[in-house]
């Protein structure tokens, strides 16, 4: 499940910021918590996007956007997705409960409940964050600062922490770039069902500008982090990936209405996020 890289990489990074007293058991429990919560959110997202008819507008499977189409193809039912999401959330909660006892800190359970509720409310009513132009902000925070700070807290017991928040920003920006590239492809379908994503609000033809802005912020924060010595010098190697980011953006600019070509841009941006994440993790280890 490659999509789990979006949550697992920032958690791994956050866990390695302070490596002197690294606790592998706590790390493993935290990783299970994050991965299972992410899986639960993705499953419930497909469930509610099916019920809202968003994923029925175009029943072709593109792999990176438009949903998994397993419900639309009759392979699984909506009820199966709901139960699988609940099961994943339960696994996540149990792992975190064990971790809370080990850490003797039950604040993490409150934070977990807030995150799970908001991740479900990404598509579910009454909030339906992704339908009100707020989904992008949630994705940025959850897959960036929140997850990095979570990994950092499990190893150090320190929360909140300004440095770990700052170091989580690049992960949030590059994962947001993935979301934007997918939303540009989904723009016509989302517009028909009243899903007000940023590309719907701005227009698919202009949304590449947001993408380039977000990517620029991501690289800028990395360079600033290296300058402040929060990150190792290896992190600067991430700038070698700028041509990859630009290529993805040009596809979004020139072919925003061609879903088949937009598959390529989504693949490029996902690879960008994964490679930047690996470089940042290595910058803490070498």
pLDDT computed for residue 188 by the predictor: 87
Greater model confidence, 180 or 21: 180
Do 137 and 148 contact (CB within 8 A), yes or no?
no
What is the total count of domains within the chain? 1
CATH number, position 257: 1.10.600
pLDDT in tens, 224-248: 999 999 999 999 999 999 999 999 9
pLDDT in tens, 251-267: 999 999 888 889 899 99
The rounded percent of the chain whose pLDDT value lies above 90 is 66
Flag whether pLDDT at 60 surpasses 70. no
The domain of 125 spans 2-285
Flag whether pLDDT at 61 surpasses 80. no
Do 172 and 34 contact (CB within 8 A), yes or no?
no
The mean pLDDT of the chain is: 91
Residue at token pair 């959110």: 41
User: What are the backbone dihedrals phi and psi of residue 176, each rounded to the nearest 5 degrees, phi first?
Assistant: -60, -35
Residues 242 and 276: their CA atoms lie apart, in Å, by: 10
Residues 46 and 67: their CA atoms lie apart, in Å, by: 6
Quick one: which of 7, 27, 13, 14 has its CA closest to 281?
13
pLDDT computed for residue 69 by the predictor: 65
Flag whether pLDDT at 54 surpasses 90. no
SS3 of the chain: helix, strand, coil, percent, to 5 = 75, 0, 25
Angle between helices 24-51 and 147-156 (to 10 degrees): 160
pLDDT computed for residue 145 by the predictor: 96
Do 197 and 130 contact (CB within 8 A), yes or no?
yes
pLDDT computed for residue 212 by the predictor: 98
Flag whether pLDDT at 192 surpasses 90. no
Quick one: which of 179, 252, 176, 183 has its CA closest to 214?
176
Cβ-Cβ contacts under 8 Å for 247 (sequence gap 6 or more):
268
Average pLDDT value for residue range 54-80:
69
**Which DSSP category does 124 fall into?**
S
The rounded percent of the chain whose pLDDT value lies above 70 is 93
Q: Which helix (H) or strand (E) holds 286?
A: none
pLDDT computed for residue 78 by the predictor: 87
Average pLDDT value for residue range 125-151:
93
pLDDT computed for residue 20 by the predictor: 83
CA gyration radius for the chain? 19
**Which DSSP category does 143 fall into?**
I
User: What are the backbone dihedrals phi and psi of residue 57, each rounded to the nearest 5 degrees, phi first?
Assistant: -65, -40
Ramachandran sector of residue 217 (left: φ over 0; alpha: ψ -120 to 50; beta: rest): alpha
pLDDT computed for residue 2 by the predictor: 67
How many C-beta atoms surround the C-beta of residue 249 within 10 A?
Answer: 22
DSSP 76-123: S-HHHHHHHHHHHHHHHHHHHHHHHHHHT-THHHHHHHHHHHHHHTTT
| Residue 129, token pair as written in the block | 């964050």
Average pLDDT value for residue range 24-28:
96
| E strand residue ranges, the chain | none
pTM: 0.93
């Amino acid at each position: 499940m490659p999509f789990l890289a979006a949550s697992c990489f920032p958690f791994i990074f956050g866990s390695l910021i302070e490596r002197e007293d690294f606790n592998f058991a706590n790390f493993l429990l935290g990783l299970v918590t994050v991965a299972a919560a992410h899986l639960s959110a993705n499953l419930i997202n497909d469930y509610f996007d099916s019920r809202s008819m968003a994923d029925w507008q175009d029943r072709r499977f593109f792999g990176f956007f438009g949903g998994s189409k397993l419900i639309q193809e009759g392979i699984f039912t909506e009820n199966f997705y709901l139960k699988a999401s609940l099961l994943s959330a339960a696994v996540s909660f149990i792992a975190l409960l064990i971790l809370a006892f080990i850490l003797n800190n039950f604040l993490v359970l409150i934070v977990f409940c807030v995150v799970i509720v908001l991740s479900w409310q990404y598509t579910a009513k009454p909030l339906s964050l992704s339908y009100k132009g707020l989904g992008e902000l949630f994705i940025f925070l959850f897959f960036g600062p929140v997850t990095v700070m979570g990994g950092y807290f499990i190893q150090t017991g320190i929360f909140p922490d300004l440095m770990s928040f700052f170091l989580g920003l690049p992960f949030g920006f590059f994962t947001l770039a993935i979301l934007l590239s997918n939303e540009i492809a989904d723009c016509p379908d989302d517009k028909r069902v009243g899903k007000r994503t940023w590309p719907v609000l701005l227009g698919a033809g202009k949304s590449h500008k947001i993408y380039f802005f977000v990517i620029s912020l991501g690289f800028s924060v990395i360079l600033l982090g290296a300058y402040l010595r929060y990150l190792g010098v290896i992190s600067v190697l991430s700038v070698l990936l700028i041509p990859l980011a630009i290529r993805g953006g040009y596809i979004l600019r020139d072919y925003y209405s061609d879903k088949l070509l937009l598959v390529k841009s989504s693949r490029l941006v996902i690879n960008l996020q994964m490679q930047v994440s690996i470089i940042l993790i290595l910058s803490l280890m070498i």
